[in-house]
Structure 1
């Protein structure tokens, strides 16, 4: 085999750490970006948060160190002396009458003595240790009223009650409060407590009954106990069945049910006296698919009821609560903070970044200057330690630069979107035009993947609400005039058509397709069904009112 040398020219893309960080920061959401900033602040000592300083006030700060004249001091002390006069009679003190001249001379001497005393105290406040002052606990909180725990009707009690009212009460806490009012044995109380803690967020017992009995037995006898026998499991199941009877009688009604049918039956049993309730109780014994589809004919045939009674019973069932624990769920509402804000500016629109989501970072000057002065490593760090610190300083600068580039790219893409979708910001979503990522990429000279990263998990506040940037991109549908209509506009039009339909005669997908064709939009029935499902709108048979 003969060996030789050859030259070959090729191109490849090498992603530097700075470029990798820039791409990663670009695709992060606002919350993820905030977490990334906090992590970098903890890890990199050269990175610091830039705090905004208030402007210096014209009065107060500039004149805080100004000298006060003697006449002003005398006037101030005189005003304080007038306000500090105690008009309450005290024991052992008799009122006396003196002439005005003696009062004036006495007050003048008092003022001079107080001014001299304040001047001496001011001279001794240089911290030289010549004056020793004992701490006086009476200076702290002298004007604060004493706290009375038994007081009623005070402001503190009102604030405490308001704070307690704002605290959400969980389903378990609500049920435990009712369980405390029951006089149960220790075993029954433990079984009821176990069932309450086994409920899910909707108020159902979804675990297997045998597994619940085994877990309850281990709760009573300890986890280290031997495996129970069949008799022990049956005894635990019997105790749980007794406890579940107590649980079914608690509020909210339907809690502790095993499935939806049992939950509905528990709620209907409270209204058993009415004919509709008795019919609804019979209907709940049928497959729930018939109730969901509102198949009145099959329900009449299987339950032996007339059409009017079945419709009244279905109306009663529709008013029940399928998830009893839903009202106690503390749902964490994620407030969407927009990255970009669009406002009216004359005849056009102004696009600007949201200052609340933009982190203000800077390089720590003290640490950076200290590292420059210690380049030789005289403090024992050596050349290796100085190189490592130099690398951390460079990472801090890269991070600040990449964050600025991230927001600049978001602003550029958002401005281009507003220019392309100007009709939307003027007339609403019905005026949305078709738009793809390639159009924005070609306009800004960026790659299509970059536009995709920018528009993911980034939000824009508009006069019509807050939308994700991807919302403004949509495919096109052909029209009879030869133009194109945005899929977003078609979905908005479908929503309007369905909202204006008659409740007793809802529009089918074929009818909706025909209505769109009448307006010049070519949209097949399957496309209408896909858009309707994306809008979470039920089909015509489920939208029909009884």
Structure 2
């Protein structure tokens, strides 16, 4: 008969406190997310405040001549500028002081595809019904400029009496398709490209291009010049020239209208050449300008009571926030400086001189855990004379050459890119031949590895790189 009993075992294990877990999360954030978090802390914590940079700026130097002696005084200049600022650029009238206006009222608004098309149809001599149908089709276009809704479905959605006929909508669609940009209003890629074929100036190439788009779009996508040449009974050079004309057409005409928004990368670290060495500095633009509000801190310490527990928590959180800000950027700078010391040849000679580098090497050099280096290199960027790179770009596992020396994967990818760039367009190199050329230079790389690196470089396979000019 088994008996039941209790036993106590002790063992040691490492656990992260909530504050340390929070510090780890903050270290992994991108600069944009981290700055947003700090701004949020400033907004909710009375002990934190943003530094006022303008308050520290010096007073402007005074001139010898007094302002009232000049014919055109500073006050007159301000008044003139104000009159220009308050003027309405579209009508030339001056806005009155009593009118509600702001700087945002004078900024240019973004032009959308629908606005661009409506501007064109509104000046056409159309009846109110035809104009309504054309505008209904315009409003149904997606951002690419395509009409994804069928005319039958659109006819059921329009509240017109009598209901619109398919023939009427077809006429309205043809009207929209005649507008700028060319290709807008198409229902698929084939129709979009056909609408733009008139842009091909050479009539002979235009005829070949129309035939390819209308009947052999699948072969065009596969860039199968050989089959197209055989089916159309045209020399490969003519097919290649027609394909080049097609590739200049825009499969997404809607993208050509409106304000294009570009997402810019703000580097965390800036590397410059200074007196024969590489100088690594934090980018001041990504460092939050936040500090402790000394007035509130002193008042709280002077009148601290038990019922002020919530304020005490805010004060402790403010201190931890400032400590995390300092620790985060100190760690980023340490990691960046260690990377530059290891990869200084890359900064001098380019990607071909990139050395193999592991996270463990940087961790051992600066005295932190390998996981800390991994978090620092995620979503952090370094600006160098060669461009802006993510910190993890500088890390790659070593690959041994025939001589036994280690070579980085980044250098091999750059070498593959150079080999393909120097190949003959009529006789491009297969992945196997690229492997042979690498072997001739003492680099033993498997063919599947070459294929993987070629795909990472977004380079097409050999058949799609072949040219017949």
Specify if TM > 0.5.
yes
Kept after mapping to 2: 8 A contact 1:201/1:329 = no
* Counterparts of residues 500-519 of structure 1 (less than 5 Å): 500-519=422-441
Shift of 1:236: 5.3
Alignment equivalent of 1:276, drawn from 205, 210, 227: 205
Please give the residue correspondences for 1:5-44 in structure 2 after superposition, counting only pairs within 5 Å.
6-44=7-45
- Residues in 2 aligned to 1:350 and 1:471: alpha-carbon distance in whole angstroms: 19
Instruction: Identify the match of residue 176 of structure 2 among 240, 247, 250.
Output: 247
Partners in 2 of 1:151 and 1:24 — Cα distance? 50
1:428 pairs with 2:429: no
Q: Is the 8 A contact 1:269 1:281 kept in 2?
A: no
* Residue 279 (structure 1) shift: 2.5
Aligned partner (choices 286, 303, 307) of residue 357 of structure 1: 286
For residues 243 and 5 of structure 2, the distance between their equivalents in structure 1, rounded to whole angstroms, comes to 88
Question: What's the counterpart of residue 367 of structure 1?
Answer: 296
| Helix, strand or coil at the partner of 2:125 | coil
**Does the CA contact (< 8 Å) of 1:432 and 1:486 recur in 2?**
yes
**Structure 2-normalised TM-score?**
0.85
C-alpha displacement at 1:33, in angstroms?
1.0
Shift of 1:56: 4.7
For 1:170, the equivalent position in structure 2 comes to 112
395-404 or 361-370, which deviates more: 361-370
| Deviation of the 1:320 alpha carbon | 2.2
Unaligned runs of 5+ in 2: 94-104
- Call closer, same or farther: CA 1:279–1:24 in 2, change over 3 Å: same
2:388 paired residue among 440, 448, 466: 466
User: Given the superposition, is the C-alpha separation of residues 151 and 536 from structure 1 closer, same or farther in structure 2, using an over 3 Å criterion?
Assistant: closer
Matched, 1:341 2:341: no
Give the total of aligned pairs: 451
- What does residue 147 of structure 2 align with? 205
The aligned counterpart of 2:314 is: 392
Which of these residues, 158, 170, 186, is aligned with residue 128 of structure 2?
186
3-state DSSP of counterpart to 2:214 = coil
Shift of 1:317: 2.1
Q: 1:164-188 deviations in whole A, cap 9, x for unaligned?
A: 9976533222211111122222232
Give a deviation string over 1:317-348, Cα, whole Å, max 9, x none.
Answer: 23322222222253321221111111223332
Whole-Å Cα distance in 2 between the matches of residues 454 and 189 of structure 1? 58
Match of 1:379 in 2: none
In the alignment, what sits opposite 1:292?
221
The farther-off stretch of 524-533 and 451-460 is 524-533
Alignment CA distance shift 1:181-1:13 (3 Å): same
**Post-superposition shift, 1:488?**
0.6
Q: 1:339 to 1:189 in 2, by over 3 A?
A: same
The structure with the larger Rg is: 1
Q: Per the alignment, do residues 499 and 408 of structure 1 end up closer, same or farther by CA in structure 2, a change over 3 Å counting?
A: same
1:148, CA displacement in angstroms? 7.8
1:195 aligned to which of 137, 152, 160: 137
- The 1:241–1:152 alpha-carbon spacing in structure 2 relative to 1, beyond 3 Å, is closer
Q: Distance in 2 between matches of 1:145 and 1:175?
A: 35
How far apart are 1:240 and its partner, in Å?
A: 2.5
**Residue-by-residue CA offset, 1:395-447 (whole Å, 9 max, x unaligned):** 01100101100011111111111111121122111100111112212222322
Q: 1:260 to 1:58 in 2, by over 3 A?
A: closer
The 1:396–1:299 alpha-carbon spacing in structure 2 relative to 1, beyond 3 Å, is same
**2:291 and 2:240 mapped to 1: Cα distance?**
69
2:19 and 2:288 mapped to 1: Cα distance?
19
How does 1:298-309 map onto structure 2 within 5 Å? 298-303=227-232, 305=234, 307=236, 309=238
- CA, structure 1 residues 350+304, in 2 after alignment: closer, same or farther (shift >3 Å)? closer
8 A Cα contact 1:168 1:328, kept in partner: no
Question: In the alignment, which residue of structure 1 is the partner of 2:366?
Answer: 444
**TM-fit CA distance, 1:4:** 6.9
Q: What is residue 539 of structure 1 aligned with on the other side?
A: 461
Aligned partner of 1:259 in structure 2 is 188
SS at match of 1:285: helix
Q: 2:410 corresponds to which residue?
A: 488
Q: Is the 8 A contact 2:416 2:454 kept in 1?
A: yes
Q: Distance in 1 between matches of 2:37 and 2:351?
A: 35
TM-score (norm 1): 0.74
State the distance in 2 between where 1:511 and 1:177 align.
56
- Write the distance in 2 (CA, Å) between the matches of 1:262 and 1:323: 12
**1:46·1:392 contact (CA, 8 Å) conserved in 2?**
yes
User: Structure 1: which 5+ runs fail to align?
Assistant: 64-74, 85-137, 155-162, 222-230, 377-382
* Residue-by-residue CA offset, 1:255-297 (whole Å, 9 max, x unaligned): 1111111111112256699232223222212242211333234
| 1:69 matched residue in structure 2 | none
